[in-house]
Amino acid sequence: NAGVTQTPKFRILKIGQSMTLQCTQDMNHNYMYWYRQDPGMGLKLIYYSVGAGITDKGEVPNGYNVSRSTTEDFPLRLELAAPSQTSVYFCASSPPTETGNTIYFGEGSWLTVV
Amino acid sequence: AQSVSQHNHHVILSEAASLELGCNYSYGGTVNLFWYVQYPGQHLQLLLKYFSGDPLVKGIKGFEAEFIKSKFSFNLRKPSVQWSDTAEYFCAVRGYNKLIFGAGTRLAVHP
């Protein structure tokens, strides 16, 4: 099983550039999440989705956009990159919350904005 | 609003010492509770989880946690830590749909 796959693993962006972090899961999970992890700050929820066509803001959505056109894919878009978006980004997926199952994380994408 | 608070940001212990990491949450409804561990340079790994039933849950590597509903707490414990437990530990709470993490506790275990 591939699980949750994120690409790219590392990326350097210039201020003002745009890019998309890709996230794909092959477990047919309804729920998908994007987090960023900054040193000493834990993981902050950026956006999440409870199914194809449905997305919602998390704790820190500003500067990001998402879409969920299929169950498998949940890309995260940075339109105008800023140094404050330098972080490690994690995608995650899970079955519906009421099933009592756990959440699966990707291996992370390291993004530096210079 | 849903939130998670971890009391200790840094903990330093000697090997064989006992460990307890505090976690409190705020959420008005039914919650699922998790502890994750992140070793240096690696991604998150699930230590244990609570969904329902026995409030004392056992996880991997000798860790356990107790859910105390009246205190909105889910503290992580280990009777005797090892040097290999050096890592960052995250408490997480899932409410209606969102999974929210605490700021994490960095644990350093000295031989």
For residue range A27-57, what is the model confidence (pLDDT) as tens digits?
Answer: 999 999 999 998 777 899 999 999 999 999 9
CA distances from residue B74 to A42, A70, A84, B58, B95 in whole angstroms, order as listed: 17, 35, 32, 12, 14
Cβ neighbours of B92 in A, within 8 Å: 43
Cα separation of B77 and B32, whole Å? 18
Restricting to B residues 13-32, those with a Cβ less than 8 Å away from any Cβ of A are 32
pLDDT at B2: 81
pLDDT at A96: 73
pLDDT at B107: 96
Query: Which one of A41, A50, A102 has the shortest CB-CB distance to B103?
Result: A41
Is residue B43 within 8 angstroms of chain A, CB to CB? yes
Cα separation of A28 and A30, whole Å? 6
Residue ranges of alpha helices (H) inside A1-114 are none
Chain A residues in contact with chain B using a Cβ-Cβ cutoff of 8 Å:
31, 33, 35, 40-45, 48, 50, 56, 58-59, 90, 92, 94, 97, 100, 102-103, 105-108
Residue of B nearest to A39 (CA): B103
Cα separation of A88 and B43, whole Å? 10
Interface test with B, best of A47, A54, A103 (most B CBs within 10 A): A103
Question: Shortest Cα distance from B3 to chain A (angstroms)?
Answer: 10
For residue range A65-106, what is the model confidence (pLDDT) as tens digits?
Answer: 999 999 999 999 998 999 999 999 999 998 876 555 678 899
Number of cross-chain residue pairs from A and B with Cβ atoms under 8 Å apart: 52
Output phi, psi for A84, to 5 deg: -65, -15
pLDDT at B42: 83
CA angle A29, A34, A36 (to 5 degrees): 150
Output phi, psi for A25, to 5 deg: -130, 145
Reading the block at residue A51, the tokens are 């199914």
> Quick one: DSSP state of residue B55?
S
pLDDT at B30: 82
Q: In the block, which residue shows the tokens 């169950």?
A: A71
For residue range B35-81, what is the model confidence (pLDDT) as tens digits?
Answer: 999 998 888 888 999 988 899 999 999 999 999 999 999 999 999 99
pLDDT at A69: 97
Q: Widest CA span of chain A, in angstroms?
A: 43
Cα separation of A46 and A66, whole Å? 9
pLDDT at A101: 64
